[in-house]
Chains A and B, each alone.
Chain A
Amino acid sequence: MSGTELLYSALRAPDKIHSMQRIIERLCHNYQRPVRIMEVCGGHTHTIVKYGLDQLVPEQVRFVHGPGCPVCVLPQHRIDAALQLAAMPDTILVTLGDMLKIPGTQSSLQQARATGGDIRVVYSPLDALTIAQKNPEHRVIYFAIGFETTAPMTALLIEQAQQQKLANLFFHINHVLIPPAMEMILSTPECSVDAFIAPGHVSVITGSDIFTPIARRFQKPLVISGFEPMDIMASVERILHQLNHNEAKVENTYSRSVTSQGNRKAQRLMERYFEPRATFLWRGIGAIPQSALQFRTEFADIDAEVRFAEHCPAPAPESGHGCICGSILTGQAHPQECPLFAKQCTPTNPQGSCMVSNEGACSAYYKYRRDQ
């Protein structure tokens, strides 16, 4: 079997998917109420919605879309910081794709770019090095986003910038961490999540062991899953199996990429430059302790939040939109229950974080399920 078959097509085969569908139906056919399974990874949301896996599982299984998108959860004042930094003279702001459309309090990076802001989207963080090298007279600020998957990439960029002694490259760090968000969701009294499909690529970096305390403390099954349809279906099977046997442990169906310890080199690189923030505001959810990264103090000279502090607004209460993003992000409400969904709030005119990114729950539902 070729690599492409092994890693892609064999995990999408319709006959296998339908077999899993039957297995899942058998495992939950006598459930008195639906089991609610939350995924916290935009990639998992994408797989579920793109392949319609939520239509394949019986009504006793409900997928609940958690805060799986690192741009969805950035509070407005941090978007405003990006805008203010970009507006500084002789400054180039560099960031990754989805950041462009996120609305701050007044505007977005896309709108700022249309009015002359030098804002550049890169495919890889390392492209920031080239931009800094080619523009020695400019200040280049890399606006770093992403979960634990992407944080090591930023760290690699920083390491290379330091090795190359690039004096004009600075960094604004907005990396957020998933396990604290999962704990926060499970700690809320109204939480009705029965199990998690745990993130696949965050786990590649962190290792699967990081989730064991969560499974133990909250007594919920937690299955780390890959991103092909078969991976998700098998993870649902594992969850149901655990529930049926009153188990609550971490299982890993993505063992081809996820180990218990994770990528130690990536972890060391992150630890060299970053430390957890005491607290961080998640848009629509609120403050979660230890849930984001910041530079260690010895790197203050390249930390845009320190060097250009006057351009970084302080946290402020979010301007109300009337949307229920917070409830949607924590799995308590469904996009279609929001009064603004598909009316005032659409992908071209997003009101809240869930509609902004392609992987936001509302955006996915708008694009793929609007009239269903």
Chain B
Amino acid sequence: MCLAIPSQITSIDAETDMATVDTMGVSRTANLGLIDEKVSVGDWVLVHVGIAMTQIDEKEARQTLELYEQMIKADMENEAV
């Protein structure tokens, strides 16, 4: 619901469970305490009030985009008919 921003992990401090994340060239820390799965540098996470909520599934993101593109393509083909 709330403002949560996709950010890319640039470093992880396993001892403090903190990551440094980058959002469009702006960098800050995010707490990984709510993330169960193992994340690595380069992964994208959703950050809300300084705490990561979930890892973003890049494969799903790509599929979603492809789905949108297919929707549009199908509609254009329908129109052409």
A residues apposed to B, CB below 8 Å: 1, 3-4, 6-8, 10-11, 16, 19-20, 22-23, 26, 40-43, 68, 70, 96, 123-127, 146-150, 152-153, 156, 159-160, 178, 199-202, 204-205, 230, 234, 237, 253, 255-257, 263-266, 269
Contact = CB atoms under 8 A, between A and B. Distances in A.
Contacts of A230: 68
A23 B34 contact: no
Contacts of B1: 40-43, 68, 70, 146-149, 178, 199-202
A23 B53 contact: no
B56 interface: yes
A96 B49 CA distance: 9
A124 B56 contact: no
A253 B64 contact: yes
29 contacts: A6-B62, A16-B68, A19-B75, A22-B79, A26-B78, A41-B1, A41-B2, A96-B49, A123-B50, A125-B49, A126-B50, A127-B50, A146-B1, A149-B1, A150-B48, A150-B49, A152-B34, A152-B51, A156-B34, A178-B1, A199-B1, A201-B46, A230-B68, A253-B64, A255-B64, A256-B58, A256-B61, A265-B35, A269-B34
Interface string B60-76: 11111101110110011
A156 B40 CA distance: 21
Interface centre among B24, B49, B53 (most CB of A within 10 A): B49
Contacts of B14: none
Given A3-B44, A153-B48, A257 B2 contact: no
Given A19-B76, A22-B75, A230-B68, A7 B56 contact: yes
A123 B49 contact: yes
Contact of A255 (B4, B6, B34, B57): B57
Nearest to A265: B36
Interface SS, B side: mixed
Given A126-B50, A263-B34, A150 B2 contact: yes
B54 A204 contact: yes
Given A43-B3, A257-B46, A156 B64 contact: no
Contact of B60 (A40, A146, A255): A255
B73 to A, nearest CB: 9
Nearest to B51: A153
Nearest to A7: B6
A208 to B, nearest CB: 13
A202 B67 CA distance: 24
Nearest to A41: B1
Nearest to B55: A257
A6 B71 contact: no
Nearest to B43: A3
Given A147-B1, A263-B53, A3 B71 contact: no
Contact of A149 (B31, B44, B48, B56): B48
Nearest to A26: B75
Interface in B16-37: 24, 31, 33-36
